[in-house]
């Protein structure tokens, strides 16, 4: 779906990939409804939009609040007249610890945002998207959604759920006007750790900064929008995601062991 002239909702629009997606969509001539739980960062995104702010609306929303999410399309349609696309980008990670050391409340919070928040928004907007001449739903999974990452097992499980939900939705909507795409970012240089409210630990933070080659958010946004405009089924973001996707399909056990060897020193004993 070409985005020019379309109205697109972007969750997590206050920072990182969500902010860059918002700004690039505006640059490409789309109208954007940027959504975030953080009002201050949303206003920063709006300021960065400059003269394109006339095509941008910002909305404070907790996507885990199902009632609020289900009512939210009214606000978007009220601001823009219609809605043509939804990019479910918002997400959080867990503390960098093994499942044995992660309590149920933390795991439930990760699933609440990453999976149920995405489901809430998809269910809210799908009836409206089905009425459009052409529409698109884009759900952000993760490289961790197809590859086990020790210390991020609950996060990975939530993103695997996003993957299968998105692929199922794709199949259900094949005969409709709504395209569906799953996005699999590798390591992206965002502030997701801060936004998630977790402590990754000194070792993990240092390793992430020094050893892992990260894709910049602006580059990730370009890859994602290029994929959207080509109606891609899957979008892999970053050389790490592409390489591990290949290895996982070819040698899944070997791929798991490679990641374990890279991550084991970062895990608390």
C-beta separation of 144 from 192 below 8 A: no
Is residue 260 flagged as an active site residue? Answer: no
87 CA to centre of own chain: 7
Separation between Cα atoms, residue 136 and residue 8, nearest integer Å = 9
C-beta separation of 69 from 37 below 8 A: no
Catalytic residue among 96, 115, 125, 155: 155
Question: Which residue, 28, 27, 175, 161, is CA-closest to 88?
Answer: 161
Q: Which long-range contacts (CB under 8 A, 24 or more apart) does 187-190 make?
A: 187/143, 187/212, 187/213, 187/214, 187/215, 187/238, 187/240, 188/16, 188/17, 188/214, 188/215, 188/216, 188/217, 188/220, 188/237, 188/238, 189/214, 189/215, 189/216, 189/217, 190/15, 190/16, 190/17, 190/217
Question: Which residue, 156, 161, 148, is CA-closest to 94?
Answer: 156
266 Cβ contact list (under 8 Å, min separation 6): 96, 151, 201, 203, 204, 207
> What is the set of active-site residues?
155
């Amino acid at each position: 779906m070409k985005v020019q002239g379309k109205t697109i909702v972007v969750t997590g629009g206050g920072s990182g990939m969500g902010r860059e997606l918002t700004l690039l969509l505006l640059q490409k001539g789309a109208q954007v409804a940027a959504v975030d739980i953080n009002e201050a960062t949303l206003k920063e995104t709006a300021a960065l939009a400059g003269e394109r702010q006339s095509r941008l609306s910002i909305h404070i929303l907790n996507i885990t609040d199902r009632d609020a999410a289900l009512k939210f399309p009214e606000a978007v349609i009220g601001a823009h007249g219609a809605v043509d696309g939804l990019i479910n980008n918002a997400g959080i990670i867990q503390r960098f610890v093994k499942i044995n050391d992660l309590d149920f409340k933390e795991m439930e919070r990760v699933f609440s945002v990453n999976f149920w928040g995405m489901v809430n928004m998809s269910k809210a907007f799908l009836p409206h998207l089905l009425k459009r001449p052409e529409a698109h739903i884009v759900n952000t999974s993760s490289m961790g959604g197809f590859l086990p990452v020790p210390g991020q097992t609950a996060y990975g499980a939530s993103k695997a759920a996003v993957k299968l939900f998105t692929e199922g939705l794709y199949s259900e909507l094949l005969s409709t006007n709504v395209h569906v795409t799953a996005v699999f970012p590798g390591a992206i240089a965002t502030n997701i750790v801060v936004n998630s409210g977790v402590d990754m630990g000194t070792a993990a933070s240092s390793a992430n900064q020094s050893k892992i080659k990260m894709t910049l958010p602006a580059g990730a946004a370009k890859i994602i929008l290029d994929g959207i405009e080509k109606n891609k089924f899957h979008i892999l973001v970053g050389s790490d995601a592409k390489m591990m996707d290949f290895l996982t399909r070819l040698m899944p056990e070997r791929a798991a062991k490679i990641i374990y060897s890279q991550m084991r020193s970062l895990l608390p004993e």
